[in-house]
DNA sequence: ACCCAGGGTCATA
DNA sequence: TATGACCATGGG
């Protein structure tokens, strides 16, 4: 059974390996929110290109986005993939901000109401909403993404990778102090770790969490430099 | 020629 | 409640 100290040790091991992450990578809350939509099921590199295109055109502002035609917006964010959908989603998000008289008006609402308003936007699901709550509004809300699930399952913290979103979130938060900085850093570290080592085809050589890993959920025939657990060493 | 990437929605059973 | 199809570009 996992205890707070175990997850704390994982946090410290990741932090020691990858260093402070300082997420979310965006200049302000609007850019953060736009990035959250553009990054949906997409390599961050591609979302970044779309953001750069918007910035380069001087259109990454509320007024500009509100004035843009959806089809024009779609062309600009094309590199992020699913670009027609995402253009619609961004317009809907900008509309929500407008309904609240701007970013401040929206982001200062109490957490449960803000989460509900975000989830009511077509194209904003639990992960996107929670990213915004955590990284744009500074609320202590833990973000669950595919990486969180994969790493949690391989470590044995999660029994089922496919568990409902809120169950996964709870299995982490019950082991963590209620602190937006801790949630934000841990999520960022998990993303970094998933890219560096804990990929679908894991790269276990040099993995900072190897001693705790159960190596579950690895597709057969896709193991790379990845043997079974050999020691009981604590991380 | 595949597989994968910081999801969400909708139709179906 | 729980799957599966669909959305689309770009890199390994």
pLDDT (0 to 100) of residue A222: 56
Cα distance between residue A145 and residue A150, in whole Å: 9
For residue A233, pLDDT over 60 is answered with: no
Domain A4-20+143-226 bears CATH identifier 3.40.50.10420: no
Band (A86; pLDDT cuts 50, 70, 90): very high
For residue A139, pLDDT over 90 is answered with: yes
- Round to a whole number and report the distance in Å from the CA of A210 to the C1' of B11: 42
pLDDT tens per residue across span A3-24: 999 999 999 999 999 999 999 9
3 state SS for chain A: CCCHHHHHHHHHHHHHHHCCCCCCCCCCHHHHHHHHHHCCCCCHHHHHHHHHHHHHCCCCCHHHHHHCCHHHHHHHCHHHCCHHHHHHHHHHHHHHHHHCCCHHHHHCCCHHHHHHHHHCCCCCCHHHHHHHHHHHCCCCCCCCCHHHHHHHHHHCCCCCCCCCHHHHHHHHHCCCCCCHHHHHHHHHHHHHHHHHCCCCCCECCCCCCHHHCCCCCCCCCCCECCCCCCCCCCC
Mean pLDDT on A129-139 = 98
- Round to a whole number and report the distance in Å from the CA of A233 to the C1' of C7: 45
pLDDT (0 to 100) of residue A216: 87
- Round to a whole number and report the distance in Å from the CA of A122 to the C1' of B10: 12
Instruction: Please say whether the beta carbons of A192 and A23 come within 8 A.
Output: no
Topology, domain A29-136: Endonuclease III; domain 1 (1.10.340)
pLDDT tens per residue across span A50-76: 999 999 999 999 999 999 999 999 999
Cα distance between residue A45 and residue A79, in whole Å: 9
For residue A147, pLDDT over 70 is answered with: yes
Question: CATH 1.10.1670.10 spans which residues of chain A?
Answer: 4-20+143-226
Match 């982001």 to its residue by tokens.
A107
What are the residues with a C-beta under 7 Å from any atom of nucleic chain B? A 23-25, 35-36, 39-44, 46, 81-82, 85, 121-129, 131, 135, 145-147, 191, 194-195, 199-201, 219, 222
Count of all residues that appear for chain A in the document: 235
For residue A230, pLDDT over 80 is answered with: no
pLDDT tens per residue across span A182-195: 999 999 999 999 99
Nearest residue, CA→C1' of C6: A82
Nearest to A102 by CA among A61, A52, A163, A131: A61
- Round to a whole number and report the distance in Å from the CA of A124 to the C1' of C5: 20
For residue A219, pLDDT over 80 is answered with: no
- Round to a whole number and report the distance in Å from the CA of A34 to the C1' of C5: 26
Mean pLDDT of chain A: 94
Lowest mean pLDDT among A22-26, A125-129, A215-219: A215-219
For A197-204, the CB contacts below 8 A with 24+ separation are: A198/A147, A198/A150, A198/A151, A198/A154, A200/A150, A202/A154, A202/A226
Nucleotides of B under 7 A from a protein CB: 3-10
Band (A232; pLDDT cuts 50, 70, 90): very low
Provide, rounded to the nearest whole percent, the portion of chain A with pLDDT above 90.
91
Determine the distance from the C-alpha atom of residue A70 to the mean position of all C-alpha atoms in its chain, rounded to a whole number.
25
For residue A223, pLDDT over 80 is answered with: no
Question: CATH 1.10.340.30 spans which residues of chain A?
Answer: 29-136
Mean pLDDT on A151-160 = 97
pLDDT (0 to 100) of residue A217: 84
Band (A231; pLDDT cuts 50, 70, 90): very low
Nearest residue, CA→C1' of C10: A46
pLDDT (0 to 100) of residue A181: 98
pLDDT (0 to 100) of residue A225: 61
């Amino acid at each position: 059974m996992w205890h707070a100290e175990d997850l704390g040790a994982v946090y410290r091991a990741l932090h020691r390996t990858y260093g402070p992450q300082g997420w979310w990578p965006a200049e302000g809350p609007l850019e953060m929110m736009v990035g959250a939509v553009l990054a949906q099921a997409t390599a961050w590199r591609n979302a970044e290109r779309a953001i750069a295109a918007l910035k380069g055109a001087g259109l990454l502002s509320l007024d500009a986005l509100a004035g843009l035609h959806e089809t024009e917006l779609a062309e600009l964010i094309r590199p992020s993939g699913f670009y027609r959908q995402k253009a619609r989603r961004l317009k809907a998000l900008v509309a929500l901000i407008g309904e609240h008289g701007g970013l401040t008006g929206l982001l200062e609402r109490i957490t449960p109401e803000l989460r509900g308003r975000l989830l009511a936007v077509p194209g904003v699901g639990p992960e996107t909403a929670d990213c915004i709550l955590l990284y744009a509004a500074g609320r202590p809300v833990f973000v669950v993404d595919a990486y969180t699930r994969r790493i949690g399952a391989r470590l044995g913290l999660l029994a089922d990778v496919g568990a409902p979103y809120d169950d996964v979130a709870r299995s982490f938060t019950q082991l963590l102090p209620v602190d937006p900085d801790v949630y934000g850093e841990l999520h960022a570290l998990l993303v970094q770790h998933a890219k560096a080592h804990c990929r679908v085809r894991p790269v276990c050589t040099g993995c900072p969490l190897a001693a705790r890993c159960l190596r579950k959920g690895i597709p057969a025939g896709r193991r790379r430099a990845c043997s079974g657990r050999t020691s009981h060493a604590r991380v």
